[in-house]
Amino acid sequence: MVPEQQAVTRLLHELNQGNKQAFDKLMPVVYDQLRKLAARCLLSERQGHTLPATALVHEAYMRLADANLAFEDRVHFYAVAAKVMRHILVDHAKSNSRQKRGGGADRIPLDEAIIVGPEAPAGILELDDALQRLAVHDERKSCIVEMLFFGGMTYDETAAALRVSPATVHRELKMAKAWLHHELKQSAT
């Protein structure tokens, strides 16, 4: 394990032992990785998105600090951070567009909704709604999509966080994408 990973593991252990100052020591160590995670999340947002990566990281920090969670390990911490960032982005999108179901906006298919890059469409709310429906049907598949696309985690990290094999992650991601594609297509009509 590299020194940074060891430091994160040690600080998470201290935090779990009740040392509340460990979280403040943890943030400088994980900040760069959280910043990369935030930047990745924002790549899939529309042009002119008003929430900068730094603000996303700081809001995620505040929510993580207030959550008072026991993090199992480094991978679990980043998985929770990815979920928190997703919720922040969804909350931000909802606050900027209070109209139900997009107010007549064009629906987009899953493959376009999860495009990462400046050409990505603004479908975070539709994708979030579909992910919530998927979570009701199959929570693990929803978590896989969340960790891979919002969290920027690798297949191996996702597999470790969910305690399954990378092959299971790959297989369930295929099924999740097909299910989400169908849902997004249905909701567009």
pLDDT > 70: what percent of the chain? 80
CB proximity list for 53: less than 8 A, separation 6 or greater: 35, 38, 39, 42
Q: How confident is the model at residue 118 (pLDDT cuts 50, 70, 90)?
A: very low
Please give the backbone phi and psi of residue 63, each rounded to the nearest 5 degrees, phi first: -70, -40
More confident residue, 101 or 83: 83
- Strongest mean pLDDT among 34-43, 74-83, 87-96: 74-83
CB proximity list for 118: less than 8 A, separation 6 or greater: 43, 47
pLDDT of residue 185: 80
pLDDT of residue 145 exceeding 50: yes
Mean pLDDT of the chain: 79
pLDDT of residue 73: 85
Q: How confident is the model at residue 122 (pLDDT cuts 50, 70, 90)?
A: very low
pLDDT of residue 100: 42
pLDDT of residue 172: 94
DSSP state of 51: -
pLDDT of residue 76 exceeding 80: yes
pLDDT of residue 99: 43
Q: What is the mean pLDDT of residues 154-174?
A: 91
Residue 124's Cβ-count burial label (10 Å; 0-12, 13-18, 19+) is buried
The beta strands (E) that lie in the chain are given as none
pLDDT of residue 117 exceeding 60: no
Tell me: the pLDDT tens digits for 1-44? 678 888 988 999 998 898 888 888 998 999 888 888 888 777 76
Q: How confident is the model at residue 119 (pLDDT cuts 50, 70, 90)?
A: very low
Q: How far is CA 167 from CA 7, 85, 114, 117, 159, in A?
A: 30, 26, 21, 27, 8
- Domain segments of the chain as ranges: 3-188
**SS3 label, residue 52:** coil
Q: Which two tokens stand for residue 189?
A: 């009509």
